[in-house]
Amino acid sequence: MRILIILLSFSFAACGQQPKKYVMKPEAKILADSAYKFVVPKQGDTVNFQSAINLLKQATEIDSNYILGFRNLLSYQQVMKDYKGALETAKRMYELRPQNPEFSSSLGIMYELNADTISSKQYFQKSLDIYSKLLDTLSDQNTILQIKSAKALNLLFLNRYQEGQEILNQIIKSSNDPIEKEGLKIYLNKSGREIIMMILTGEENQSVSPSQQ
């Protein structure tokens, strides 16, 4: 999902959250590798998100710090429209990295999809606050543009339409990257709710291989 790609596009280091070296438990890795094969099957095989979900649930039970596993689990649960399950996954991600605005935004989106707009706004606001603070500390222009994009989306999620759209237009005008421009144009003239509903189409789903940690 392009929206989540934008929210995921900067590193833990940019958020001041560079974790210690993480080593996945071997049993969890075996299950995660098996899960990935169900969503990127060999020629002739069929995609089976439910089987991938079942395996990732087992993997994250064995290794409760397996962020990438939770991230993929969240994506697959959305594809299967298991929004209650996805909410619980997003909560766990947030518990692991409460100061990472990506996870605050993801949790806000899941609350929104479960019709809890009071809670969703709380986490969108937290993400917005963190993004705003980050912009005061960064100098790399590419990272600044990425975080401005995420900030704009959270403003839209908070129904601050004019502010969010103004930032998106500024980024599109200033960017020299044609791919980035086209990627952001899909959010122009759309409300936060419309953007969240775009997630439900599954057209922007992206899986991450367990080996890409």
Tokens matching residue 39:
């969503």
Give 41's pLDDT tier (boundaries 50, 70, 90). Answer: confident
| Per-residue model confidence (pLDDT) at position 57 | 97
**CA distance linking residue 83 with residue 89, whole number of Å:** 10
164-208 pLDDT, tens per residue?
999 999 999 988 888 888 888 989 999 999 998 886 664 443 434
Mean pLDDT of the region 12-31: 71
Residue 18 pLDDT exceeds 60: no
Looking at residue 7, its pLDDT comes to 52
pLDDT interval class at 130 (50, 70, 90) = very high
pLDDT of residue 139: 86
Q: How far apart are CA 113 and CA 35, in angstroms?
A: 25
Q: What is the pTM (predicted TM-score) of this model?
A: 0.82
Residues 6+ apart with CB under 8 A from 58: 31
* Residue 9 burial (C-beta neighbours within 10 Å; 0-12, 13-18, 19+): middle
> How far, in Å, CA of 35 to CA of 105, rounded?
25
Is residue 17 scored above 90 in pLDDT? Answer: no
User: In the predicted model, what is the mean pLDDT of the chain?
Assistant: 85
